[in-house]
Structure 1
């Protein structure tokens, strides 16, 4: 680092602390915190915050020294990258179902190094035919059971306007019995 804290700490006319400010923003772009960057440049932490955020006091308002933020990581892992979005859009345009897109293999990802906690996922192998068969069988069984429950003669005995409440009570019956025994 060829930057040195200047020996004479007095203001030098209208270009006050210009080199310090440039160095501060370079350090922040590299991932240093406000406290670390301010200390390395030789200014108060509050000065660093004012350079980054501007002044909010109405009597002393000043816009941030850099109006635009530094570009973020290429891919955070939380959101889809542009090429992934395009791939999904192309597959949807081909009339592919969302389920079939979801079973395709995915690339590995790692959170950005300055992320609040390290996280990553390895390459996804996608679903093999056995997985797809197992899920298909379970979905078919779920539909069969739902048809049996909804079409049961018991529901004909209950008035139409009361059926929704009765189904909700039946659905939550197990939860209420668990609370009573606890």
Structure 2
């Protein structure tokens, strides 16, 4: 006789549920997905599926939806009556004590006690049973609201039709009021559509017709606040918002902006530096690429040739090549200030200079073919161009004056 199979455990039972709860707690503390998965001992893809859910479509077109895992239950606030307090209420109420007497015993308001007895007593007998009362109160507490796209079939069909025409959620929400001005029930927000797409078990829309969004995502990309974001650098970095005001108005020379221009397939690079007041350009030769240690050494060599008065600060983006910025600052006494992510306008002079340099170093070209002498020649040619922003002086003329004053 075949050996009988053991009954299958319900999903999420036992150690598996403990792992899920541990994972969600780590994510709630601001830890990123990879770090949380390493702590729990699961694959990164497993963590992503737990967080956002997934939809599996079989060969016959039938979709099976696995909802995201629920966060572990939070401790009930002390402002709600506990089960032990309800037992006390039941004992005292059965003994004939008044609501005020029970309230004084539990350090609660008398109205809380009278409302509890009236609201959670047995509707048929009128007796107050503490365990049944606790269950009624717990069931009433969440007060879930049904999703709008689930309750309105007409609205759901309109949204699905426009999504199939590659409309964005915001375009849909902005257009519906003008198309149906006398139908306030056909109103919704973009977030309602996004939730319906990311959580099909709650929103009523299906993921079977993809891509419904331009990004092609079927789950929400996690965003973190600046406080929760994992720092890019090991050493503590300073934000560009902390840079001295003298750098903003360009009144004091010696504040620099820097970046890399990349070659083909991002395999080769040239460091670019521009002084904010004079627009004077320095190019950094990187024969060994942009690894942090090599870049630190080349940057120290470049800045060490400048007078101390012309090394006030350096603004850089979030590139990994500045991972040893603390050592650069210690060697040159030049603080480094980092721009916000994806904010190139915070280094406007450098961005403009990089555009000029592309005349010499086209995109998708091999930058390793240029020697240090080639870079010096390019920088000299660029620094000797008259600039409108300098009243048609050249950066070299302005910078030479600064060197003379420093001397």
Q: Same fold (TM over 0.5)?
A: no
- TM-score calculated relative to the size of structure 1: 0.32
Q: Which has the higher strand share?
A: 2
Larger radius of gyration: 2
Per the normalisation by structure 2, the TM-score is 0.16
